Amino acid sequence: MKNTKYTEIYDDLKNKIISDEYKSGEKIPSEKYLTEAFNVSRNTVRRALNQLSLEGFVNSVHGKGVFVIEKHQLKLLVGGLQSFKEASLTNSINYETNLHIFEEILVDAKLSKKTGFPLNSLVYYICRSRKIEGENSILDINYFLKSVIPGLNEEISKNSIYEYIENVLSLKIAGAQKVISVENASKLDKKYLNLINYDLVAIIKNFVYLEDGTLFEYTESRHRPDKFTFSTYAKRL
């Protein structure tokens, strides 16, 4: 970011949130206060607040103000594409990944229709639970096309697959088509997630592409509904 009034406000508020000067759930200074304190327009203040909201630091409540997001809520950007590790670091959240399934399987007709991968192609099938603040709150079910992403193993799957793809294979991840739904909890959800009394899960389905347009990943991130906030930012055209 350039060193402008907007970034000055953004950096000041972000640093105070990270340092716990503004604590989780606390209301930050009003737009009027920030406008006067930094001698800027309301639009400049709102731009800084929008950026903080996009990055998962604050949430604006209509008629009440802007509040620091509780740290136990992992805020994922629907419009962005982050690995779980990247999202956790952005949100300053302690996490643990547990690998339950790592297999190489052939794509049958049912899986081909679901994932978009060619029939009879070989994929890595990976199932991992994500423990956040001591609770299993996300179940990630991944399929990676082996011909495009060779060399995956259990150790990589326990760490960061995206780091392996970008830093070891030197492939450029371009973007993803995302489908969001709420569905009944599956047997795997009930087995690996701390669902308490919930019988529904929020699901983000990702069809992920390289910069040359190759589909290399299909993933379902299955979330306990009370633990997560999904955020996007839309501009009027």
The token pair that represents 154 in the structure block = 């259990």
Tell me, yes or no, whether 90 and 54 share the same domain: no
Whichever domain contains 184, its CATH number is 3.40.1410.10
Q: Are residues 13 and 94 in the same domain?
A: no
Looking at residue 57, which CATH number applies to its domain? 1.10.10.10
Phi-psi bin for 170: left (phi > 0), alpha (psi -120 to 50), beta?
A: left
Indicate whether 29 belongs to any domain.
yes
**Residue among 147, 97, 150 nearest 127 (CA):** 97
Looking only at the bridges linking them, the beta strands covering 74-77 and 228-231 are: parallel
Contact of 202 with 123, CB cutoff 8 Å: no
Domain final residue, candidates 68, 89, 114? 68
Same domain, 36 and 143: no
* 182 falls within a domain: yes
Number of domains the chain contains: 2
Query: In the prediction, which pLDDT does 73 show?
Result: 47
Domain shared by 92 and 145, yes or no: yes
Please tell me whether residues 81 and 64 are part of one structural domain. no
Q: What is the pLDDT of residues 81-132, one digit of tens each?
A: 555 555 555 555 667 889 999 999 999 999 999 999 999 999 999 999 988 8
Parent domain of 9: 5-68
Flag the least confident range among 60-64, 79-83, 169-173: 79-83
Alpha helix (H) ranges present in the chain? Answer: 5-18, 31-38, 42-54, 84-90, 109-115, 154-158, 161-163, 187-192
Query: In terms of pLDDT, which residue wins out, 210 or 88?
Result: 210
> Do 96 and 57 share a structural domain?
no
Cα 85 from Cα 72, distance rounded (Å): 15
Pairing of strands 200-210, 215-223: antiparallel
| 237 falls within a domain | no
Can you tell me the distance from the alpha carbon of 26 to that of 22, in angstroms, rounded to the nearest whole number? 6
pLDDT at 61: 78
In this structure, is residue 236 part of a structural domain?
A: no
Same domain, yes or no: 183 and 149: yes
Q: Are 115 and 125 in contact (CB under 8 A)?
A: no
The residue among 157, 154, 217, 224 whose CA lies nearest residue 189 is 224
Final residue before a domain boundary, out of 19, 50, 68? 68
Same structural domain for residues 153 and 119? yes
Of 29, 50, 68, the residue that ends a domain is 68
Main-chain phi, psi angles of 75, to 5 degrees: -95, 115
Q: Is residue 117 located within the same domain as residue 176?
A: yes
pTM value? 0.64
Question: Can you tell me whether residue 63 is helix, strand or coil?
Answer: coil
Is 70 within 8 Å of 224 (Cβ atoms)?
A: no
Looking at the structure, tell me whether residues 26 and 136 fall in a common domain: no
Q: Verify that 125 and 225 share a domain, yes or no.
A: yes
